[in-house]
Structure 1
Amino acid sequence: MSYLDVAKGVLIILLVFAHFRSALNRTDFKNDYFEYVYGWNSIFTCFYMPAFFLISGYCSNFRKDPKTFLKSLLKSLVLPLFALSLVNDTMYALMVTHQDISTTLLKTIKSGGTLWFIQALVIAKVICYSIQKVTDALIIMLIATFVLLIAGVALNQFNLGSNPFYYQHGLVASFFVALGLFLKENQSIYEKALKYCLYSYPLLALINFWRSPNITASLSVSLKTIPLFLILSVCGTLFFIVICKNISVPLKWDELNN
């Protein structure tokens, strides 16, 4: 679906914008107008990472044999993760920390890479694939991953051990991957949810403008804020999808050549 490609592209732009301030903080650049615009980023930071996971689940096919699934996962996520992480960490070591490159690369390999959201997505997909191998009932997958979401939040909130490969984020992300798969298999529910969220999310975003829990490299969701987190992230994602669906215009191949 072309509008989902548009959605993924816009999400990448939002991701860059959300991290732009941290880059500027390392410089002497100051701009009051940018600070004002940046102050509105909570409108999308509450859903832009869950949106990646939900759309990925919507576009995934877990009805594959294990060999095909693992090969696809390795090619599409694991290898790009290590390649991008190695480039990123090497440049960071050379230009910022001035550390020994071999030490940096070894640390990257042990940690699984620096791109937390790809690691979380890999874990989430493995979880959903494993559940679907046990049962085809998507409602069971939703319930199971919801329990895992609660577990991931609890582990993070109470600092119960380390978080290797961002597995706590992966537990949280598994619910959104499962939800995306559920919506794909239930188009009537999907279409109704899109219409509802188109009108409900703007109001929800304004009401919760200053206190939006979200999932980033530092998971800012607590057990108490899980309901708010789910409402904002799911409604925000579907609202965003509707917007992208309305602005995307399919082009024919002949039109591209003219």
Structure 2
Amino acid sequence: MNNNRIFYLDIAKGFLILLLLVSHFGIVVRESKINVEESYFAGIYFFHPLFTTFFMQCFFLISGYCSNFNHTAKVFFYKQLKEIIVPSIFLGAINGLYHYIYGSEHQFYVETFWFLNSLFCGKVFCWIVNKLKIEVTLYFLISFLLFLLGITLNNYDIGENIFSIRQCLTSGLFVAMGMFFKKNLYIHNYLMKYSWCLYVIIFSIIYTFNQESRVPIIDGTFHKFSFYKTPLVVIISIIGSFTIFRICQIIGRFHVIEFFGRNSLIIYCIHLIPFLYIIQLTSQIFLPHNILTGTIFYLVALAMEIITMTIIIKLFNYPLLRICIGKW
């Protein structure tokens, strides 16, 4: 099970991080201030809800599944120092320097690191739960109440969202799910086998009634949504995640995608800066004037971004820079 888990989850992380680039295309186009109608990219944006509605929660679920919460406090927090805190500080400094130089023009980086803050909080929550040997029903109840608290703080703008505390409160539920599925393989395997069916049904209904833009999303911007939609967030996060896992199992070993999966942290933290310049450069060569040329523009920019991120990943895997991203 361990070897199988590693290969399909690495591939899943690879696909998810590439989907992150896809989802951030619109943000970077707006930040680049190029003279182009966003309607030219409507053909691409139309499909975004198929993954943006759950893919960040999928990362949390993977982390909960792969993490060892039986470690002592010393070992556990040392791993978090290596895997989250050190990369966050170093890569955050790069983003911070860029923001300091171009801060009057580009504000997007401020929301970038919400995921790392949330991941750290979610993992600490699950480690505490595991150490205290809290029953499954109780820790799911606690994590769900924290999830609702995060949504409440966001909906009513209660306090400042310092260190992305609202997203942090929602993350523990999905990390806890990953931990739960790892211990309950029967449920895990059942979801692997049948989740895609429910995924197809739910999104068929959503798109049939043109509700794709109204599906709630928990991400860096964290738009407000009604409490009655909360079950939909949880259900889509679970079935969407297991649909991705199932697809990756069927695909089998895919070393290029696994490469991106193993280096997803670098892509997550750095991708916006080169993407901005790539789109500005591409716009100097040609500007789209309809949906067809908009799609071509998007594909060219995305391909260049993937190539650029591959080079950056290679650079960060040299001995000295490996230390800066917690690989020692």
Q: TM-score, normalised by structure 2?
A: 0.69
Q: Does 1:65 align with 2:69?
A: no
Matched AA of 1:43: L
Query: Is the CA contact (8 Å cut-off) linking 1:85 and 1:114 kept in structure 2?
Result: no
The correspondence of residues 34-183 of structure 1 with structure 2, limited to 5 A, is 34-97=41-104, 114-183=112-181
Using CA pairs under 8 Å that are at least 6 residues apart, name the structure with larger relative contact order, 1 or 2. Answer: 2
Q: Aligned residues: percent identity?
A: 32
Query: Is the CA contact (8 Å cut-off) linking 1:123 and 1:167 kept in structure 2?
Result: no
Matched AA of 2:215: S
Matched AA of 1:237: S
Q: Deviations over 1:87-115 (max 9, x none)?
A: 0121233245279xxxx9xxx9xx9x841
Query: Shift of the alpha carbon at 1:51?
Result: 0.4
Q: Which moved more, 1:84-93 or 1:48-57?
A: 84-93
For residue 242 of structure 2, the aligned residue among 231, 235, 238 is: 238
Query: Is the CA contact (8 Å cut-off) linking 1:153 and 1:222 kept in structure 2?
Result: no
CA distance in structure 2 between the aligned counterparts of 1:63 and 1:222, rounded to whole angstroms:
37
Query: Shift of the alpha carbon at 1:73?
Result: 0.5
CA distance in structure 1 between the aligned counterparts of 2:227 and 2:127, rounded to whole angstroms:
26
Query: Is the CA contact (8 Å cut-off) linking 1:46 and 1:232 kept in structure 2?
Result: yes
The correspondence of residues 241-252 of structure 1 with structure 2, limited to 5 A, is 241-249=245-253
Query: Shift of the alpha carbon at 1:199?
Result: 1.1
CA distance in structure 2 between the aligned counterparts of 1:228 and 1:42, rounded to whole angstroms:
13
Q: Tell me what 1:5 maps to.
A: 10
SS of equivalent to 2:227: coil
Query: Is the CA contact (8 Å cut-off) linking 1:57 and 1:178 kept in structure 2?
Result: yes
CA distance in structure 1 between the aligned counterparts of 2:178 and 2:148, rounded to whole angstroms:
18
Matched AA of 1:219: F
Q: Which moved more, 1:197-206 or 1:89-98?
A: 89-98
228 and 114 in structure 1: CA distance in 2 versus 1, 3 angstrom threshold: closer
Query: Is the CA contact (8 Å cut-off) linking 2:112 and 2:220 kept in structure 1?
Result: no
219 and 191 in structure 1: CA distance in 2 versus 1, 3 angstrom threshold: same
Matched AA of 1:228: L
Runs (5+) with no aligned partner, structure 2: 1-5, 256-328
Q: TM-score, normalised by structure 1?
A: 0.86
Give the alignment's Cα RMSD to 1 decimal: 2.2
Q: Tell me what 2:217 maps to.
A: 214
CA distance in structure 2 between the aligned counterparts of 1:4 and 1:222, rounded to whole angstroms:
32
Runs (5+) with no aligned partner, structure 1: 252-258
Q: Deviations over 1:205-239 (max 9, x none)?
A: 12224221111112234322101111111111111
What is the aligned residue count?
241
Q: Which moved more, 1:158-167 or 1:45-54?
A: 158-167
